[in-house]
Amino acid sequence: MRSEVQETQAKSAVTTARQPADPRPTGLPVTPLSIDSPSYSFAYLQSSCWDEGLSMNVAHPERIIVGPHFVLIRDARRDRLLSPASQSPATDESFAGDIRAFLEQRGDERNRIADINLDVGVGPFADLSPAVLSALDFEAVGTPGHFAVWRFAKESQTPAPTLPVGFEIHNTVPGDAYFHQRVALESKLFPISESYAARLPGALAHMVTIGSDQHWVVVEKAADRVVSYNTMRYGRGIAYLQNGGTEEAYRRKGFVRALMHVAEKDARERGYDGMGTTGCDDRAWATWAAIGFTEKVRKPQSWTWKPKSD
């Protein structure tokens, strides 16, 4: 009969043998997922949350720790845990073993861990019990929200772009003056910190470089400046409207619909049957709903690690 120490060593060996899958998008061609795919919600999580954190730290690779069990993104205050790093579907036993091994590796720094995003019952976690998370001192954070999906009709229902005289749409890439202006406009329109604004150009440029993102802008020709933009993200197998905005003085001129027509055409040509997005406020949600984002897909549950006191 094996001793308790031998049992522990054996379990550790099995756990360590499970090799990680690098969570960063590769830039390689991806197969479009249908909106009805069971993996759609998880791919949305990767597109909207993972790629946000990973790309924002692309200039600081030391902040992205890809271990044998999980993926960690460090920030100034606490660490964010992404899952899964393993290519294998999670079971209660493997997940618990991975968590324990991961916390052991982190040592005294394990108290910096902020949260872990995963969807129990979906994709890699189809057989994972929420009770396992509770037993490991994880607590569910709030109630899962939703993101909006625009399911494309067989034929495009979005009117062709009809921009006012003096404006035109461009596809822009890093190094282009319009790309710089697009980044600046996002920083102007949304309440982001100085640190976030400083990292944003590099993050967006990286996502374009690896073939994930496409940026379109509306340019006022007389002033040669960007007044509206949107960004599509494709790296995870879904068409995800990552961001969009219009300078206040140029709203209600049809720019959003014109840009969405271009984005829809691009997504269709890539083989997607729809696209997903989210809104930062009620006005944004109303705008997307008017365009066609009328279906709702549940977001994954977020869990926070709150170790109990001894």
Q: Pick the most confident of 8-12, 72-76, 225-229, 253-257.
A: 225-229
Q: What is residue 274's predicted lDDT score, i.e. its pLDDT?
A: 95
CA dist 243 and 20 (Å) reads 30
Pseudo-torsion of CA 71, 73, 79, 82, nearest 10°?
-40
Question: Could you read off the pLDDT of 20-76 as tens digits, one per residue?
Answer: 456 666 666 689 999 998 788 878 888 888 888 889 888 888 888 776 656 778 776
Q: What is residue 61's predicted lDDT score, i.e. its pLDDT?
A: 84
pTM of this prediction? 0.81
Domains and CATH numbers, the chain: 4-148+300-305 (3.40.630), 150-298 (3.40.630.30)
Q: Is 217 helix (H, G, I), strand (E, B) or coil?
A: strand
Task: Quote the percentage of the chain above a pLDDT of 70.
Answer: 77
150 pLDDT more than 50:
yes
What is the number of alpha carbons within 13 Å of residue 260 lying toward its C-beta?
A: 26
The structure tokens listed for 164 are 């006012």
- pLDDT-based confidence at 195, cuts 50/70/90? confident
